[in-house]
Every structure is written in C-alpha cells, then in structure tokens.
Amino acid sequence: MERRRFVTSAALGGAALGAVASVLPKPAIAQGLPEIKWRMASSFPKSLPALFGGADFLCQRVAALTDNRFQIRPFAGGEIVPPLAVLDAVQNGTVELGHSTPYYYVGKDPTFGFGSTMPFGFNERQQMAWMRQGGGLELHNELLKGYNTLGFPAGNTGAQMGGWFRKEIKTPEDLKGLKMRIAGIAGNVLAKLGGVPQQIGGSDIYPALEKGTIDATEWVGPYDDEKLGFYKVAKYYYYPGWWEGNAMIWTNVNRDKWNELPPSYQAALETASYDAYSWVLSKYDTENPLALRRLVANGAQLRPFSREILQAAYKASFEVYDEFAAKNALFKKTYESWKAFRDTEYLWFQVAEHSFESFVYSQRTAEVRAKK
C-alpha cells in the first residue's frame, strides 16, 4: 500500500493562492507564496537534545525549503503548552502544530499506543514499514481525524532500556507490589503482573526514586537517562525495554490549519518530518553507546530481564490487547493490521538481518575478550 496525500494540489489551486498572496509583501524570491508563521508545541524539554533537537531541525528544514517564508517556531514542553496537553492544544487550534508521541494520549483511547509502539511489538524498521507501506499511517490518521489533526512520523528513539531498579528483579514474583514509573499501555501490563504503575513527570522521578516513593523507573535510553542521574539512586539498569522496541515521535497538525497551507508548504512539512525522523534516530544511535559506556563507568549495573519475566510480560501484553479489542472497534481494526504485519516482518527479519547481527556481535565480543 502506498501512502496517500491528505490534500491534493487541486484542493488549494492557483486561484485561491493568488488571492492570499496578493495581500502580502513580495520580496525578490518566491514572491508568489505567502509568509506564514506557525508555532509548534513540543512535549519534550530542551534538555533532550535528540528529541527537542529534532523539532528544531524540522523547523529549520521547512524554512530552508520555503526560502524562509514558512517559519515555524518550536517551543519546548511546558513553555506554552504542558508536555502532555500537546494534542489538545493542536486540536483546539491554540498552536497549529504539535511534536509529541501518541502513547501520551492512551488515556483518551488506547489505540494511540500503536502510533508510538506496543509492548513486544515492532523494532524501528518494522514500525516505519507498517506506517509507510503497511496501512499503519492511514489507520493512525483515522484515529487522529477524531481529534481534528493529522500526523507524520518525525523521529524515533530506537529500542529503549527497561529502566532503573533499586533492587534486582529475578522472577515475575519480584514484580508484585513494585511501584514503577512507567508510561502508556506498559502500565496496564505491569498492573496485570501485580505491579503498581505510576505516572510521574520527568523532573519528579529522581526525588521519588531517591526517597523510595517508587522502586523503579523507565525513561528512554542511556543518552537521555544519564541526564536525569538515575544511576545514583537505582543502580540496576535492565534491558531490553520490552514495552518499547521502538518509540515513534510525530508531528501533528491541526486539520483546518493544514487545509489553509499551499500544497508546496504541505509537502515541505511532510518531507521535512521524514528527514527529521532520520536525524533523530541517527542522533540516538550515535549518542546512546557513548552514554552507556559512561553510565557503566559510573557504577550502573547492567542486567537482562530473565526469560521467565519476559514470557510472563508477553502473555500479559496480549491479554491486555484482547481486552481493549473487545471494547474498542478502532483498536481492534488497528490491532489486526499490526498483528498480521508483525507476523510477516518477524519471519523475514530473523533470516537475513538477525543472523547477520548475531554473528558480527558475537565475533566482536570474542575479539574484545581475547584482548583482555
């Protein structure tokens, strides 16, 4: 399936544009196109240079593509809109554009989870393939239409870490009563396993962990986690983040504002989103390994989740999905597309991709050991 354009050139033809352009000043370059200034509300703070940096990169690309006539100013989470209220602000037109991740809104509808990631779901490549060529983008925009917005993928963190724990976790029994800061649908899964999921904003996590108000927290991965200093108060750093094999970031546009854009500005916003996506992902992939080394040097203890824990969480995740699907028609429709695509992707990725990586990583590990 190919992606579709939301608005064709015909929807905003030359006549309409001419009318807009005629009342605007006309400098030497691109004098036929209007000067437009938009505001973008991001869910992310400036202290996350890959995520907020991605918003900044996107706005700069749109400016470059339009000879600075379409100017978007990015605002960090909390500057003009609270981090978790970005979707509402775009929906009601407070800002034209948002920069966020859909699973922040699973309280409105669990179907938002598919736009970011689902526990035991896709890796980054699989998520993007489903979005661009497997029908995911159309399904997510069907959901967004109910909020008078539309969206494009604009970043990804890659697979995240399982987070920071004050004590070692060895069996599913150890999760019972565990108070953990954890986002999105993973919270439902943790609750099914007997844990106590907590929703806590970024800046409040460290003191809660230090005091023992919570026993564990997940955040993103080494690069972002390092900045919040969790290793000082909860030294066990677990992997993998089974609830986030990838996490997709999006630009969300108010539909009325979108429809007012000239087609070339619409194209600029869409294409710059995919460019920013690659920029954000490559930023994480470059910085995470360096940060992981520093964290381990500072005393973080790397621990894999046991197979027993992973299997219990896997079972609980699919039970949660079935429960949502029984109550929510769009969740069910999206889940069925996601699940069928996942089965097919897993078949292929374990042949060439996974066997290549398994060999090169084991070979490299053997080399490092031989040098010691």
Using CB under 8 A as the binding rule, the residues of this chain from 197 to 226 that contact a second copy are: 221-222
Q: Which residue has the tokens 């040097």?
A: 297
Sequence-distant (6+) residues with CB within 8 A of 332 are 324, 325, 326
Q: Interface with a second copy includes 314 (CB under 8 A)?
A: yes
Is residue 219 annotated as involved in ligand binding? yes
Indicate which single residue of 85, 95, 115, 124 sits in contact with a second copy (rule: CB under 8 A): 124
Sequence-distant (6+) residues with CB within 8 A of 279 are 53, 54, 57, 155
Pairing of strands 163-165, 216-217: antiparallel
Using CB under 8 A as the binding rule, the residues of this chain from 330 to 369 that contact a second copy are: 343-361, 363-365
Q: Interface with a second copy includes 125 (CB under 8 A)?
A: yes
> Helix (H, G, I), strand (E, B), or coil: what is residue 198?
strand
Nearer to a second copy, 60 or 328 (CB): 60
Q: Interface with a second copy includes 51 (CB under 8 A)?
A: no
What DSSP state is assigned to residue 12? Answer: G
User: How many C-beta atoms lie closer than 10 Å to residue 361's C-beta?
Assistant: 10
Least Å from the CB of residue 296 to a second copy: 10
Is residue 218 annotated as involved in ligand binding? yes
Least Å from the CB of residue 156 to a second copy: 10
Q: Is 62 exposed, middle or buried (0-12, 13-18, 19+ CB in 10 A)?
A: buried
Cα–Cα distance for residue pair 315/26, rounded to 1 Å: 62
The identity of residue 265, as a single letter, is Y
Q: Interface with a second copy includes 160 (CB under 8 A)?
A: yes
From residue 258 to residue 287, the character string flagging contacts with a second copy as x (rule: CB under 8 A) and all else as - is ----xxx--xx-xxx-xx-xxx-xxx-xx-
| Residue 43 in tokens | 């869910």
Is residue 166 annotated as involved in ligand binding? no
Cα–Cα distance for residue pair 368/372, rounded to 1 Å: 7
Least Å from the CB of residue 263 to a second copy: 7
Using CB under 8 A as the binding rule, the residues of this chain from 8 to 47 that contact a second copy are: 14-15, 17-18, 21, 27-33
How many chain residues touch a second copy (CB under 8 A)?
90
Indicate which single residue of 100, 126, 252, 254 sits in contact with a second copy (rule: CB under 8 A): 126
Is residue 61 annotated as involved in ligand binding? no
Nearer to a second copy, 91 or 273 (CB): 273
DSSP line for 323-369:
HHHHH-HHHHHHHHHHHHHHHHHHHHHTTHHHHHHHHHHHHHHHHHH
Q: Interface with a second copy includes 245 (CB under 8 A)?
A: yes
Least Å from the CB of residue 162 to a second copy: 8
Least Å from the CB of residue 368 to a second copy: 8
Sequence-distant (6+) residues with CB within 8 A of 244 are 116, 117, 119, 157, 159, 160, 186, 218
Is residue 244 annotated as involved in ligand binding? yes
Query: Which residue numbers belong to the known binding site for substrate?
Result: 160, 181, 218, 244
Query: Which residue numbers belong to the known binding site for Na(+)?
Result: 219
Query: Which residue numbers belong to the known binding site?
Result: 160, 181, 218-219, 244
